[in-house]
Chain A
Amino acid sequence: MKILIADDESLARDRIAYLLKEINPDYQQVEASNGLETIEQVNEEEPDVVLMDIRMPGMGGLEAAQHLMTIENPPAIIFTTAYDEYALQAFESQAVDYLLKPIRKERLEKALGHCSKLNKLQLEQLGQQNPETAHRTHISTQIRGTILLIPVKDICCFLADHKYISIQYNKDGEMAETIIEDTLKSLEEEFSSVFMRIHRNALIRKDKIEALEKKDDGRILLKLKKLPEGFEVSRRHLPSVRKLMKS
């Protein structure tokens, strides 16, 4: 069995590592010190179990788990925490595996013995109950079995296109495009603090808005910073766009 230990504190990782070694010297161990590294390691090493700390810098454990769930054969996830009122309540109510630090060897052994795979519903519930994970820091998509992460801060817009959503984002200074499976409605709800709806099929990053442009055929286009083409604004959403630009 291959186990990934995800924790930002090296002392915490060390301790889990030697406990695992005592339980079974044949376990293969990999380590990660934050959410992003965890995803990278899962892509590369394909572990069977992830021992995931909830509080990690950059990307926390709950969000990392959400991204891991998108791959075809996600690893089982056991959350670890020293003290977390909100999370513990959520874990209890969703019957999710978790371990309290300092972890007891017997508990760890037992958890590894019958860890179950998380499902999407459980994770959604966990996210809602935790006030610290208001929205994801990254959007994930799958490319040939591995997870590709796009930082939300680099995304300019979400455009609905038939069944899929296309994302235009800034990749190392250049614009790139990728496709995810989601709905504009749920994205709008999750990222309402950063993005706004300007059309039935478009969510636009608020701080990228530059100017409104009226076309000869009566359509109104919204220009974004550093993007050549404009995005059509529908009549219904025009007042809210104007209001935002004024403020």
Chain B
Amino acid sequence: MPKITDYPRLNKANKIKNDPEQNSLFIPDFCALKMVFAVVVIGELLAIVLTISPLRMDKQRWDDLAILSLFVQWNGLMCSSALCVLRPIFKHYSNRFVAISSYLIILLIIVVLSELTFYIVEQYYLFEAISFASHWEFLLHNLLIGGIISALALRYFYVQHQWRMKVQAESCTKLQLLQARIRPHFLFNSMNSIASLTRTRPEVAERMTEDLAELFRMLFREDHEMIIWSRELTLCEHYIDIEKQRLGERLKIEWKISNIPDDALVPALILQPLLENAIFHGIEPEIDGGRIAVMGEFNHNQLIITVENTNSKNLIHRQGNKMALANIEERLKAHYHGKASIVCHEKNDVYFAIVAMPYLTKDER
């Protein structure tokens, strides 16, 4: 199982990922005019259904409908105004809590209004045409109808909300996925470096453009693709070459790759975001830069890749791209089904990110 030690960067990442579901309330805004109108119309339809459902034919029906409408509208509008008032409070709670509590509130309102109606009718001998059954029968009858209708309504709102969330998620994931894997900064900074080099050292600009093209070609491929380890390493070296042009002496990097079989498959560009993080947090904030070390080992049929960097001692810690680590974790999960892991920790101002993946070759896949 992927395991994560407590490091603020990553914890934040997980939180952000879950936030959209927690923060959006499934109950619509009942204060909106459109919703009030919908409640009135649905209430009226319910009153009509209730009036015509018993199989009898007499003139009294119209009177029944009028009184039923009055009662149903009263209930409907009271319930929706209660939900409207409570909405700001509901925002702070989970949807499960909101669902249960709003259902109970609706039932409570129905009980109170039924009691009130019963009392008024009995006290003033109104609507003699309607022969009320016993007190308890009346209450139970209303509670049952109200309970079923409101359960259906809440269920409908929930399903609609889920559907809306899904549409929203699908529309932004593609862009977010790309941003989780490479910072827009990198692209624009590289463009600027190329623009500068074109005049002074065209041959370096040319190579940098090639490196950049190769990286982006890989980025735009399908997410599930795997590449052989030697190719991954070359891509990472290209990435570092580009950044080295920009950062110069400030970026010191050491590669210590031993005995990893060249034919081992890894998810494409799984390491690049770690290098990017190392540069962002360890090198860029320091005037004198810092040191990055990439270590690769092959042990017990596992590839263990460590990216370590000196962490900036700067007073203000930079806010990072919180999605990168969460994204790597997710990709590892998708490729290796829990057999790979990423662990991050910090010790004596050095930050470590360790990825462990099982050894897979083309034939085994």
Which residues in A have some Cβ–Cβ distance to B below 8 Å?
Answer: 8-12, 14-15, 18, 33-34, 55, 57-58, 82-83, 100-102, 131-135, 137, 152-153
Contacts and interface: CB of A to CB of B under 8 A. Distances in A.
A135 B314 CA distance: 12
A82 B188 contact: yes
Given A18-B199, A101-B192, A132-B316, A9 B287 contact: no
Interface stretch (B6-14, B93-101, B125-133, B244-252): B244-252
A15 B318 CA distance: 27
Interface-central residue, A8, A10, A12, A57, by most chain B CB under 10 Å: A57
Nearest to A37: B287
Given A58-B314, A132-B319, 8 more contacts: A9-B189, A9-B193, A15-B192, A82-B191, A100-B188, A101-B188, A132-B318, A133-B316
Please indicate which of the listed interface residues B195, B200, B250 has the most CB atoms of chain A within 10 Å of its own CB. B195
A102 B316 contact: no
From B193, B195, B200, B316, name the one whose CB has the most chain A CB atoms within 10 angstroms: B316
Nearest to A85: B184
A131 B317 CA distance: 10
B279 to A, nearest CB: 12
Contact of A9 (B191, B246, B285): B246
B286 interface: yes
Contact of B245 (A8, A11, A15, A34): A11
Contacts of A34: 287
Contacts of A15: 192, 195-196
A55 B284 contact: yes
Contacts of B285: 57
Contact of A11 (B192, B284, B319): B192
B319 A82 contact: no
B209 to A, nearest CB: 13
Contacts of B196: 11-12, 14-15, 102
Contact of A153 (B185, B188, B245, B315): B315
B197 interface: yes
Give the 8 A-B residue pairs with the shortest CB-CB distance, closest first.
A15-B196, A82-B188, A102-B195, A11-B196, A101-B192, A102-B192, A83-B188, A57-B287
B185 A83 contact: yes
Contact of B316 (A14, A83, A101, A134): A134
A100 B184 CA distance: 13
A9 B247 contact: yes
Given A11-B196, A82-B188, A102-B191, A57 B284 contact: yes
Contacts of A135: 316
14 contacts: A9-B189, A9-B192, A9-B246, A11-B197, A14-B200, A15-B192, A57-B250, A57-B286, A82-B185, A100-B188, A101-B191, A102-B191, A133-B316, A134-B316
Contact of B246 (A11, A58, A102): A11
A213 to B, nearest CB: 30
Interface string B192-221: 110111011000000000000000000000
Contacts of B197: 11
A65 B319 CA distance: 21
Nearest to A18: B199
Nearest to B245: A11
Contacts of A14: 196, 200
B319 A131 contact: yes
B309 to A, nearest CB: 14
Contacts of A102: 188, 191-192, 195-196
Contacts of B248: 9-10
